[in-house]
Structure 1
């Protein structure tokens, strides 16, 4: 039995229990597409690209692993399994939890190094000239759903630095917008995203692509914002304590507009065509039908929602441009009084080419408005929480309008339609995953419906 076959046999039962495995409840059906190897001092380091055929649409995963001849200290939770090799036992670990992989990965990125190909190619690409004199520590960030991030403490000639490297788990052909957009924003001088350090670019076999090869990003490293606080937790704590959040929300609106403006300047815009509008309306209707099938309470609002969507089709739509794509309070940090935007990857399971298409900035605005609603809803929708949320929403819009120069309130019906579509999506998600939270989007749908009557 080959080493790679042994790896695949061990990975198959392990994969289904990982948070980033998309086909929950299904037994993985795995095919090894290719691997690449990077040198390490005390372990063999492979990164496997593995196709899972158990889903309706097959999903390609990146699974970095390390081979060790003896157990790794304090890493039982990262052990994938063991297999015999002659008279010895080989221990196979999830790579990001092993210093051998994490240190080699960052060295590969900052050194523009090329991995040894085992059917898949990988090359590090540094965006600047960060010189890492030593890697002091590396740990995996807990709680992530779709990727795995490693937090480093490193020494540089300019002093200590924290770095975060996101290892993309589900891979797609095409440039990852998380890398492309944040790097472009940083290069344009924006202080609203972390400094970009570098990435790993990969290539692998794919019969569906011209030339039979797919290309995409495998990992992305950037500055880690030490001492930063998640905006969702910050807002939730402020609402619970009755702290006025309007100034913070206003600043967040302004930062959002600044990022949209910089993205428009970096990647351009184009007018919304009749086809673009028709496609958006069609996707809204499709999601609405799915929502009604799964959440029958929405059916009573269908007539009003249909009317809002129809009216939106007759309005003047803004230009399309690159946007965040999955914008909410959980994608923002507060660092030294400055709002910092993260995770421009979009919806991870959508094809990369779709996530890289121009979209409407209103989608991001609507997403953040919905996130403020969730603050109130998670606190039980008390009168105080509802008032706090309403004031924060208005302040966010004011900040956006002042910074962008675009009066969103003059086109409120279109923004309401985008927010309605987002709430429809949320209703389906909550019905499937968090039924106790279903009243949050349902309340929003009723509020938006009553305003559009």
Structure 2
């Protein structure tokens, strides 16, 4: 099909379909994309022989019509590294042109920095085209170090962070006019674009503005406007987010995995993580609207959990053996006293927390599950969903060690049990104080239901993607079912 693009710049070619389909951030793994560029904005660059166009491309082969961001650099001369080469083509002058995935091109990082620092906007000659606006986020915060001021620095180097699934992040090294190196920043290029404020930008900025020390400092952003063929209304949303980069730190998953492998007690770090989680939840309840847990809200949330189990039991037959106990868990939760709904992290696990020397735990990636509709990710939810996600993550640490070395299994499972208890203790301790508190007392039935729901979700995922890992969530389902059975027997007695 024709790959049309609005305005001037780089027209996409059908070869882009195959390239996009092979990328980690492409969401439609079950089909081959058929892309249509609904428009582009040009990013000014002072580098000779380079043009930069940032396309918004619609996957017309997806039943969700997913919209992606595809920044492309066109060069008259090839880069030394060809790993990000999308296509070699010919220009209007008959000479070769080289098209690259822009985040891997140093010219893009430098141009993006300038666009944000100057608060630049693209010309609005075409009211139906794609427009973009860069801005520095003047968010007040009390971090351990001096805030990053991008306007004082220029870009000297950039590199793409490896391993990401849904976005592309660029680490940018900076230097000031005297040649002194500044603190590096991380630029997150959102690959899946949706109308509305991206939670990673809005939630993190709100927390930083509230003085939270548990989030990185927000620095800048690029927002865009576009007209989609799927909607007559003009749409807008975030395209890029810049925040402080914390070099030389490990995420909590790696830290916890090392501790479990060596048998190192993790109670103190887990307790501190519980405190950090509760503090962030308290701040979120303070800076975003909350919602009362009415009967209708509770019924809908419980219905969703029951429906997830029903569908999962079809796909993972082992789950059906626990149907009575699982229903008992959901029934106890539905009858319990529910806290207010509020903004939460939404995709919380050990990989979303950094262990920063001298600062402690720092929570990152408030985008939620990127493949869920943005409107859903922005809805108030129960904080215990985050707590359950972290408990499941500790379980996965212990189970991972046990899979590597079965002889170490019992000790690793005990390690996870101790870490889980310390995390809950820290969460309860911090959550029991201050306005908007969310202590765990009386919410045990809810936590059991959300952890069970998460384990059921994991069972589906592992069954489809890593069958050898399926015993991990099934073990959690069995444990929670047994605990529910014991509690029911105790009540009956």
Q: Is this a same-fold pair by TM over 0.5? A: yes
1:5: Cα distance to partner? 7.4
**Regions of 4+ moved over 4 Å:** 1-6, 156-159
Q: Check whether the contact 2:153–2:174 (CA below 8 A) recurs between aligned residues.
A: yes
Partner of 2:130: 120
Partner of 2:290: 269
| Larger strand share, 1 or 2 | 1
- 1:70 equivalent to 2:81? Answer no
Distance in 1 of aligned mates of 2:414 and 2:301: 32
Distance in 1 of aligned mates of 2:272 and 2:11: 53
Q: Gaps (5+ residues) in structure 2?
A: 139-148, 404-408, 433-437, 486-493
1:116: Cα distance to partner? 4.3
1:387: Cα distance to partner? 0.6
Partner of 1:189: 211
Listed as ranges, the matches of 1:410-429 within 5 Å are 410-429=442-461
1:130: Cα distance to partner? 3.4
- Measured on the aligned residues, the alpha-carbon RMSD in Å equals 1.7
Distance in 1 of aligned mates of 2:229 and 2:295: 34
Distance in 1 of aligned mates of 2:365 and 2:13: 30
Q: 1:14 to 1:159 in 2, by over 3 A?
A: closer
1:369: Cα distance to partner? 0.4
Partner of 1:318: 339
Q: Check whether the contact 1:140–1:150 (CA below 8 A) recurs between aligned residues.
A: yes
Distance in 2 of aligned mates of 1:286 and 1:155: 54
SS at match of 2:402: coil
- 1:52 equivalent to 2:59? Answer yes
Partner of 1:355: 377
SS at match of 2:304: helix
Q: Check whether the contact 2:109–2:155 (CA below 8 A) recurs between aligned residues.
A: no
Distance in 1 of aligned mates of 2:413 and 2:32: 44
1:374: Cα distance to partner? 0.3
Distance in 2 of aligned mates of 1:231 and 1:115: 40
Query: Which 10-residue stretch deviates more, 330-339 or 143-152?
Result: 330-339
Query: TM-score scaled by structure 2?
Result: 0.89
Q: Check whether the contact 1:245–1:392 (CA below 8 A) recurs between aligned residues.
A: yes
Match of 1:285 among 283, 306, 322: 306
SS at match of 1:49: strand
Distance in 2 of aligned mates of 1:433 and 1:192: 33
1:407: Cα distance to partner? 3.8
1:302: Cα distance to partner? 1.3
Partner of 1:133: 153
- 1:143 equivalent to 2:169? Answer no
* CA deviations over 1:187-242 (Å, ceiling 9, x no partner): 11111111110111111113555x62111100100000122111100000000001
* CA deviations over 1:391-431 (Å, ceiling 9, x no partner): 00000000001101044143211100000000010000111
Listed as ranges, the matches of 1:336-347 within 5 Å are 336-337=357-358, 338-347=360-369
* CA deviations over 1:303-345 (Å, ceiling 9, x no partner): 1111211221111111011100000000000011410000000
Query: TM-score scaled by structure 1?
Result: 0.96
Paired positions, count? 451
* CA deviations over 1:26-53 (Å, ceiling 9, x no partner): 2211111110011112210000000002
Match of 1:38 among 39, 43, 67: 43
